[in-house]
Amino acid sequence: MPKTYSDDLRCKLLEAYEAGEGSLAQLAKRFRVSAAWAKKIHSAQKRTGQRERPTGRKRGRRSRVTEAARQYLAAQVKSQPDRTLATLQEDLERQHRIQIGVTQLWNILKSMGLNFKKSRSTPLNKTVSGSPPTESAGGKKANRSVPRTSSSWTKAV
């Protein structure tokens, strides 16, 4: 996708046109842009009165999750961090009458900086298992029992 032209280029082209240095098509050649773009920015300047590129608007649907609902979700996660997304989804519907999918709920929590993953900075659990530690993968091979079946590949010839 092509990059947008800078506001500086827009201003220079429009100032040159206002100063009478040529037509839009001639100035487009001089500034190495398309004539259609020059006409487009000139009509935008006449319509808005600004030379600079207008700021873009947010695209897509507006979220149904209000700020109050976001604060509610943050409080629920902080008070009980082991809740599932499904229970949070049900609570949100019950308390705020907002129906959203689990994926959208996950994305909202992620954008708020909340997650359900365990932190690696917490101390390890101090419980000790009753069985002895197993050998590492690089150690001795485990003794494996050989199946005693009557399949043809195990018979002695």
What is the per-residue DSSP string for 11-47? HHHHHHHHTTSS-HHHHHHHTTS-HHHHHHHHHHHHH
Has this prediction a pTM greater than 0.85?
no
pLDDT digits (tens, 9 = 90+) for 87-114: 999 999 999 999 999 999 999 999 998 8
71 shares its domain with 44: no
Q: What percent of the chain has pLDDT over 90?
A: 48
Q: How many domains does the chain have?
A: 2
User: Does the residue 58 lie in any domain?
Assistant: no
User: Does the residue 55 lie in any domain?
Assistant: no
User: Does the residue 143 lie in any domain?
Assistant: no
75 shares its domain with 107: yes
- Alpha carbon distance 27, 38 (integer Å): 8
Cβ neighbours for 105, distance < 8 A, ≥ 6 positions apart: 73, 85, 88, 89, 92
- Alpha carbon distance 12, 141 (integer Å): 76
Token pair in block for residue 77: 């996660």
User: Does the residue 26 lie in any domain?
Assistant: yes
Q: How many CA atoms lie within 13 A of 71 on its CB side?
A: 3
Residue 19's domain comprises 7-48
Give the angle 126-132-138 at the CA atoms, nearest 5°.
Answer: 105
User: Does the residue 97 lie in any domain?
Assistant: yes
44 shares its domain with 11: yes
Considering only CA atoms, give the Rg of the chain: 33
User: Does the residue 142 lie in any domain?
Assistant: no
- Alpha carbon distance 11, 13 (integer Å): 6
pLDDT confidence of residue 118: 56
Burial of 38 (0-12, 13-18, 19+ CB in 10 A): buried
* Reported confidence tier of residue 2, pLDDT bands at 50, 70, 90: confident
User: Does the residue 77 lie in any domain?
Assistant: yes
pLDDT confidence of residue 124: 62
pLDDT confidence of residue 53: 83
Of 36-50, 105-119, 138-152, give the lowest mean pLDDT range: 138-152
